[in-house]
Structure 1
Amino acid sequence: MSSEFNSEKESPGFMLWQVTNLWQKAIRTALEPFELTHPQFVLLFSCKWMNEHNDHTSITQVQLAQYTQMDVNVTSQVLRTLEKKGYIERRPHPTDSRANVISVTKAGDTIASQAVQAVEAEDRAFFSSLGHEVEQLNRILQQLTKR
């Protein structure tokens, strides 16, 4: 069986795979000084952001997993690591005995605020060759997240 594409550059999936790998490598390098993996950073900063933008209401693990599009079990494992590092606290939800409420500690807030600067700087550098076309890329990526 052969491919319908004459070149790998015609395959959007393969091209996305290549770009994603290059971008993830750059982000891993940016996060090394903070001793955070990319999933740890995404969950830590997302929790911080969600709490700040939701008037510090109770954010649950499930809500965080849905927001980041991360598997619930993976989310739980990563949060466990962040908790051991002292960056988040998990406590029982006040009205749902099956849920945990996630909050960012002072140490977690500090590291998330520093790490996001490095990640955003790396994003700017990585996507700089697109110029204003980065806005078009964002629109296309947003379309794909609505599947």
Structure 2
Amino acid sequence: MSSEFNNAEESPGFMLWQVTNLWQKAIRNALDPFELTHPQFVLLFSCKWLNEKNDDTGITQVQLAQHAQMDVNVTSQVLRTLEKKGYIERRPHPTDSRANIISVTKTGDEIASQAVQAVEREDRAFFSGLGNETGQLNQLLRQLVKR
């Protein structure tokens, strides 16, 4: 046998792959009515959330990418699409000529607020099978994110 595992279910990577695919399908279905992809939703809502935490002074593309743990180039591409949809605005940073300030438009704010309700509803349904162990899952996932 070419694997250290006797069963596929013993491989944490394979199990994570399966769960991730099932969860992403559920989230895609939840986001379909809003015509948002999952990356678009994550960046749009993260931008809204970070701006609210930052007194709506604006955040940079790099800050947004770091928050979402997303590649800066991918972030730029997704933001370009969100900008074309009229959900975000990019303007030059007042002190850093290499950076842009990203803010959410009124339309983007409305879409993000509606979409997050659908996503959180789907999350609750998807993870409900864990019962009160959801907190433990979050704790374990935080350990992996901090690596």
Q: For 1:30 and 1:13, how far apart are their aligned partners in 2?
A: 25
Which residue number in structure 2 is paired with residue 144 of structure 1?
144
Q: For 2:48 and 2:7, how far apart are their aligned partners in 1?
A: 43
Secondary structure of the residue that 1:42 maps to in structure 2?
helix
Unmatched 5+ residue regions in structure 1? none
Q: How many residue pairs get matched?
A: 147
Stretches (4+) displaced over 6 A: none
Which residue number in structure 2 is paired with residue 119 of structure 1?
119
Q: For 1:57 and 1:7, how far apart are their aligned partners in 2?
A: 52
Q: For 2:54 and 2:144, how far apart are their aligned partners in 1?
A: 25
Identity of paired residues, percent? Answer: 84
Which residue number in structure 1 is paired with residue 3 of structure 2?
3
1:73-84 equivalent positions in 2, closer than 5 A: 73-84=73-84
Secondary structure of the residue that 1:132 maps to in structure 2?
helix
Q: Match for 2:91: what amino acid?
A: R
Which residue number in structure 2 is paired with residue 24 of structure 1?
24
Which residue number in structure 2 is paired with residue 69 of structure 1?
69
1:40-55 equivalent positions in 2, closer than 5 A: 40-55=40-55
TM-score, normalised to structure 2, is 0.99
Give the C-alpha shift of residue 57 in structure 1: 2.4
Which residue number in structure 2 is paired with residue 132 of structure 1?
132
